[in-house]
Amino acid sequence: MDEDNAMKSENLRYQLLAAQLEMAKSENRAVVLLISGQTASYMHPLLNMINHWLENRRTEVHALEYSSEDAKRPLLWRYWRRIPARGTIGVFVHGWYGDALFARVERRIGAGAFEDRLAMIRDFEAELAAENVALVKIWLDIDRKTQGQRLAAMQKDPNRAWQLEPSDWQRHLQHPLISALGKPLRKATGTDESPWHCIAGDDPQDLIHQLAMQLLDTATQPSVDPEAPRASCQLAPDARGAPSVRASHPEKNASDRPDKADYKQRLVEQQARLSHNSREAARRGIPVVLVFEGHDAAGKGGSIHRVTSALDARRYRVHSIAAPSDEELAHPWMWRFWRRLPMDGRFAIFDRSWYGRVLVERVEELSAPAQWRRAYGEIRHFEQHLLEHGAVLGKFFLSISKDEQLKRFEARANTPHKQHKLTEEDWRNRARWDDYEVAIDDMFAQTHRPHAPWSLIACDDKRKARLEVIERVNALLEHRLESEP
């Protein structure tokens, strides 16, 4: 390297490091550097150099092999759980593009599925961009003749031959197809917020300069305002047949309410049925996700307890969702839910969930209108990922009348071992009852879908409500089990 290039490299390196440290100090955004493209295009030297230039404590490099653990969760799970926190940089080798590209090259998916994958990637990256995760996407190109020459030279060099993998020669044979598919891939997924940058050359030092300049430009751009309106904030048409807490208040008719003896007998029967169904779901490797939302004091905890009493404790986990931690606040808001998804054959039960953004965060103005409006579409995409992976998804909203809630609040206040359940927040939420009912009905209208419907459970009578919840869980499982003999 001549002196001018050496000075250019040092200057660029210090600028990039200074930008990274400033980003770490302000914690205003995260950066994802994704590098894909052809083999033998100096990808590994570039990764080593850029990792050496950056502050390692604020950088993570991910070159992921598809594992058995990954196969037991939705496709994007392994990437969501590794999205960097604000103030840090995550480097992905091929990443989610490699999954789509090489699956198509190897004919594991067809043309239609490939297009669906690219659409999924666009939605994923739009969600990241809205949450101040900036993407730098680099495509390393090389012509097939030069690629073959580099691979042959590496193979003859004892000091470099160990770097070759059998897949490198396979990718060489696939060069024309990778090149042909790479063009529509980049066209379909390149956006104003996350464009592709194609770079090529024979000098790794020149390539690192090109890569570093793109990374520096992104790291020094102003951060995105997450509260600014975006196209994704537009609401979808209201769902047909969506339930409504304002139109369907809890049933007052006591004629079909079970007495204590009847309740106990039916509960035992339903729990035995659930125990059988859950074991069969585990045997077939079917993941189950149950979401419980509802009015304060409606009985979410009691209903969840009746469900889990029938399950194998080794195969379920209850996630009680409260205010986000500092770590969770440093990531996109859906990050904490993606990382809690169950393995195939397991249950994940959410006592409050991702719907908090369009309920409590909306009503209490913890999220701006642009954020909770955008969340409806992100929730629909998230739940679609669960269903496409094969999960059983049950969504339950437990509703009580305003009078019944007051009775339960007063009972808790007067019962020593229940007083901890009643908080100032409960009373504050009650004071905004009408605002919550509007938000609940909007939630139903935007997220009640044929493949992911809401079950509105009237809970003025606890026994009847608990039986209805467990019966509906059984119905969901049996529908799935019967459809896949």
Determine contact, residues 33/50, Cβ cutoff 8 Å.
yes
Superfamily of the domain at 245-483: P-loop containing nucleotide triphosphate hydrolases (3.40.50.300)
The mean-pLDDT minimum among 200-209, 226-235, 249-258, 437-446 falls in: 249-258
Give the pLDDT band of residue 292 (cuts 50, 70, 90). very high
Residue 34's DSSP bridge partners are: 92, 137
List where CATH 3.40.50.300 sits in the chain.
Answer: 3-219, 245-483
Please count the residues of the chain: 485
Q: How far apart are CA 452 and CA 458, in angstroms?
A: 19
| pLDDT at residue 458, rounded to an integer | 94
> How far is it, in rounded angstroms, from Cα 426 to Cα 407?
13
Please tell me the predicted confidence (pLDDT) of residue 252. 52
Q: Regarding the domain delimited by 3-219, which CATH topology (the fold level of the hierarchy) does it fall under?
A: Rossmann fold (3.40.50)
CA distances from 90 to 51, 356, 416 (A): 10, 28, 50
- Token reading at 357: 């953004």
Give the integer Cα–Cα distance in Å for 352 and 425.
Answer: 15
Task: Give strand ranges (E) for 165-231.
Answer: 196-199
Per-residue pLDDT for 249 more than 80?
no
pLDDT tier for residue 250 given thresholds of 50, 70 and 90: low
What SS3 string covers 291-323?
EEEECCCCCHHHHHHHHHCCCCHHHEEEEECCC
Using only C-alpha atoms, the chain has a radius of gyration, in whole angstroms, of 26
What pLDDT does 239 receive? 93
In the block, which residue shows the tokens 């905004």?
Answer: 432
User: For residue 270, what are the contacts with CB-CB under 8 A and spacing of at least 6?
Assistant: 310, 467, 470, 471, 474
Among candidate residues 205, 189, 186, 182, the one with its CA nearest the CA of residue 38: 182
- pLDDT band, very low/low/confident/very high, at 420 (cuts 50, 70, 90): confident
Q: In the predicted model, what is the mean pLDDT of residues 396-407?
A: 94
Mean pLDDT over the full length of the chain: 94
Dig out the tokens for 255 from the structure: 């004629």
DSSP sequence for 114-172: HHHHHHHHHHHHHHHHHTTEEEEEEEE---HHHHHHHHHHHHH-TTTGGG--HHHHHHH
End-to-end CA distance of the chain: give it in Å, rounded: 66
CA distance 74 to 382: 10
* pLDDT computed for residue 310 by the predictor: 98
Could you tell me the pTM of the whole model?
Answer: 0.93
Q: Which residue shows structure tokens 């969702």?
A: 321
Q: Bridge partners of 198?
A: 139
- pLDDT the model gives residue 51: 92
**Short-list 245, 105, 293, 238, CA closest to 182:** 105
